[in-house]
A and B are shown apart, each in its own frame.
Chain A
Amino acid sequence: MTSATPATIPAARTGIWGWMTTTDHKKIGLLYGVTAIVFFVVGGVEALFIRAQLALPNGEVLSADAYNQMFTMHATTMVFLVVMPLATAFINYFLPLQIGARDVAFPRLNAFSYWLFLFAGLFLTISFFVGGSPDAGWFGYAPLSTQLDEVVRMDYWALGLNTLGVASIVSSVNFITTTLTMRAPGMSLMRMPVFSWMSTIVSFLLLFSLPMVAVGLFQVYFDRNLGTLFFDAAGGGDPVLWQHLFWLFGHPEVYVLILPAMGIVSEVLPTFSRKPLFGRNFVIFSGIAIGFMGFGVWAHHMFTTGLGPVAEAAFALTTMFIAVPTGVKIFNWLGTIWGGRLQLNSSALFAIGFIFLFVIGGLSGVTHSISPADSQQHDSYYVVAHFHYVLFGGAIFGVFSGIYYWFPKVTGRLLGERLGKWNFWLMFIGMNLTFAPMHMLGLNGMPRRTYRYGEGLGFDMWNLVATVGSFVLAFGVLLFLMNAWRSYRRGEAAGDDPWDARTLEWSTTSPPPVYNFAHIPEVTAEDDFWHRKYGVDEQGRAARRDDYVPVDQSTPPPGLHLPSPSYYPILGSFGIFMMITGLVYVPWGLLATGAGAVVTLWGMFGWSMEDLVREHH
């Protein structure tokens, strides 16, 4: 292979088949993003049903059974099929770009993760049409989740979640390997952009937390189908074991949901304040600290389980303690804005909205660490208010900030600002109208997960306000979808670097070429791209370099080999889909499971015999 060889860009990259066989991290990132937005609408409609039912006392919209399915699937969808894949979408698209790589470490494995995620999401959704959706809560507390008279609903849940877990573990291995081995020359770990850092920490959290809930989910499945006694108190089992296994995953999961948003905000605010992130290393080390401490607070979800005063005191303390590295970041962001020239566009608005709402959610969260007070708040709407402030006000606002920030890089067009501001304010007001009243409802004693409440208990007004708020919120999301569609069709052309930004993804074209960079950048500083554009003048202020010339990214470098498309990832993951579908309907379904195993083996075998790069000239 001489250097005069023309670049090899694989053929067959267009059309549906092109998407199904793609191994390009950017296309896979887009697939994750679009799929997650579709599920966001599904989960949102479920939420609207819940709010419609609760709008007035003695609601008639849903039956008790339908209500149970709605709140279970709303949470399951939003956590596993919306926030996690939205984060994965950003990581897929921007981690390789930010660290100056051509792709992730294992492009086909990356495609496999996506297809497995999609099939598991469909699997969970299918359950709705064949006997009802899962209905024992997203936490699936045993023995409720192991009761046999619920037909197959919780089998769908246990198997679906486990499959999503496998997809996440696989992509975590992929991202960690990418970060550790694929960074551009000079891109030391401490020079990595903060979003890439948070992505890596999230990957480690998933890597170590998912196997624990996987064991629990297998035990639930075996209790339901094999007659094991893991969570059967009458047979000597212990349902509290499930709570431990679930929350050992479930609490790190909370940080899995929020850390990517924190990473996004840490990219957005410096760019629009035109200042480096204040205390950058501190933000990174706080993220690492959260990653470690996240594994030591799980039992604060179990203060009413009866763990005893010593355990409760210990977990109360660790819970208060983990608020420190989380709280510190608030000051890092405020310090970044302080004295900067803040440009208040939609992306920055969402980032500031994130800080505002996350502080409220964080403070109500710390109140849970006081275990006596928590016993009062437990299973009340106060908890619902808290986690929606951190997950909607936090994670979703962060993600929206990221969408407004990176949309021009992905599509080459700016998202409309006018609709963007409407989108922000409607979501911001709607979000507060919906969830702020729940603080009052909870403290006044309204329990979670009850499908109706009686008249005259003092719950009427705030519930109506919350329902009105939820529809305002939904309207805001609708405006976003319109904005995205319109801007994608005929938005203002963005150019390569519309925000005059700081990190490497902005140094390539919008959208980036399939090979990402014509020349792999040599990194010499944190925020390397900024330093290529700006020097320092006599007063110590940033001054545009006269000699800065953008690198031409349009000509592929000679001798470049990109991963070829492959249909084995989708084949292998479809086999797993067949396997889990069969496992729901033991014993006859085992035929489908066997057939699925053959398909998966076929996919894996073909995969291992196929060269990654096949277009040799």
Chain B
Amino acid sequence: MSEHTAVDTNAEHHADPDVVRKTAIWVFLGSEVLFFGSLISTFLLYRTRIGDGPGAEVFDIPFTSVSSFVLLMSSLTMVLAHHASTRKDWRQMRVWLLATAMLGMVFLAGQVYEFTEFVHEGLTVGTSPFGSSFFVLTGFHGAHVAVGVILLLGTAFMSFAGRFRPDEGMNVEMVGLYWHFVDIVWIAIFTIVYLLQV
């Protein structure tokens, strides 16, 4: 989404659109912190309440470590895309944007596989509060990754269609801020949900 500021070519006063949009994204991400904070708090409250169903032993740590690595690498390709955009190297930028979207989709595929496995092992949203809070937390994170993939593909598409204007670098930076945020949230989730099994 590229929302522009009230463009004011009046020479007296002109808010820099880049600053305006970047401020908005940071403010929005501040709100997201509380959203995931509440989901993680719910999980922490319920992580030992497994009822008659399976608990944390269903987690396949090596598998999820690999998919976490994939997601972390997507932050690297995102940085490369942004870097290319600051050099106005649009071809490179598109390549790295698509690479980032690709890695995001690999992560999502891993999550779908993982969810299917857990259901086969008897852990569903209705098994226990542990199951409810696990699926809702990781599911909302997955939804955020999916939105990010749409944003990345949309940005790349706009670049292919020649709809980018000189401010296009900013769009990449905005998507990048969101993408890195979603990655950081995953680091918290991976640590708290998967690794912290005391």
Contact = CB atoms under 8 A, between A and B. Distances in A.
A229 B132 contact: yes
Interface stretch (B31-39, B66-74, B101-109): B31-39
Given A222-B136, A230-B133, A237-B129, A173 B31 contact: yes
A184 B27 contact: no
A539 interface: no
Contact of B24 (A174, A241, A245, A557): A174
Nearest to A520: B13
A463 to B, nearest CB: 40
Interface in A151-193: 169, 172-174, 176-177, 180-182, 184-185
Interface in A80-136: 100-109
Nearest to B32: A211
Contact of A105 (B5, B132, B158): B5
A101 B42 contact: no
B7 A228 contact: no
B32 A611 contact: no
B158 A609 contact: yes
A411 B163 CA distance: 41
A236 B31 contact: no
B35 A215 contact: yes
B23 A228 contact: no
Contact of B49 (A169, A214, A236, A608): A236
Interface string B21-47: 001100110111011011100100110
Interface in A189-222: 207-212, 214-216, 218-219, 222
A396 B197 CA distance: 51
Given A236-B129, A241-B42, A207 B5 contact: no
Contacts of B198: none
A492 to B, nearest CB: 33
A173 B19 CA distance: 14
With a 10 A CB-CB cut-off, give which of A208, A209, A218, A228 has the most chain B CB atoms: A228
Given A211-B35, A245-B38, A613-B7, A608 B12 contact: no
A226 B126 contact: yes
A227 B8 CA distance: 52
Interface stretch (A10-18, A327-335, A478-486, A558-566): A558-566
A1 B7 CA distance: 13
Contact of B27 (A177, A210, A245): A177
A560 B125 contact: no
Contact of A173 (B28, B34, B131): B28
Contacts of A228: 125-126, 132, 135-136
Contact of B20 (A102, A105, A608): A105
Given A520-B12, A608-B2, A176 B27 contact: yes
A210 B32 CA distance: 10
Interface in A505-561: 519-520, 557, 559-561
Contacts, number: 159
A229 B129 contact: yes
Given A210-B31, A212-B34, A561-B9, A235 B129 contact: yes
A387 interface: no
A241 B6 CA distance: 43
Contact of A612 (B7, B15, B24, B163): B7
B148 to A, nearest CB: 14
Contacts of B125: 222, 226-228
Given A184-B13, A211-B31, A241 B158 contact: no
A604 B126 CA distance: 34
A181 B15 contact: yes
A585 interface: no
Contacts of A560: 8-10
B6 A173 contact: no
B196 interface: no
Contacts of B140: 218
B31 to A, nearest CB: 5
A215 B4 contact: no
B128 interface: yes
Given A227-B125, A238-B45, A102 B35 contact: no
Contacts of A184: 13
A356 interface: no
A425 interface: no
Nearest to B49: A236
B154 A520 contact: no
A38 B10 CA distance: 38
Contacts of B12: 185, 519-520
A103 B154 contact: no
B132 A562 contact: no
A237 B50 CA distance: 10
Contacts of B154: 605, 608
A602 interface: no
Given A182-B20, A235-B51, A102 B8 contact: yes
A229 B24 contact: no
A159 to B, nearest CB: 16
A236 B51 contact: yes
A60 to B, nearest CB: 43
Nearest to A562: B6
Contact of A215 (B39, B45, B49, B131): B39
B3 interface: yes
Contacts of A180: 23
A228 B134 CA distance: 11
26 contacts: A106-B3, A106-B4, A109-B3, A172-B27, A172-B31, A177-B24, A177-B27, A185-B12, A207-B27, A211-B31, A211-B38, A212-B35, A227-B126, A228-B132, A228-B135, A230-B129, A230-B132, A235-B128, A236-B46, A236-B51, A520-B10, A560-B10, A561-B8, A605-B154, A607-B1, A608-B1
Interface of B: 1-13, 15-16, 19-20, 23-24, 27-28, 30-32, 34-35, 37-39, 42, 45-46, 49, 51, 125-126, 128-129, 131-133, 135-136, 140, 154, 158, 163
Interface of A: 1, 3, 100-109, 169, 172-174, 176-177, 180-182, 184-185, 207-212, 214-216, 218-219, 222, 226-230, 235-238, 241, 245, 248, 519-520, 557, 559-563, 604-605, 607-609, 611-613
| A-B residue pairs, 5 tightest by C-beta | A211-B35, A228-B132, A227-B126, A612-B4, A215-B38
Given A182-B6, A227-B125, A228-B126, 18 more contacts: A3-B11, A174-B24, A181-B15, A211-B31, A219-B136, A222-B132, A230-B46, A230-B132, A237-B46, A237-B129, A519-B12, A520-B13, A557-B10, A560-B8, A560-B9, A561-B9, A607-B1, A609-B163
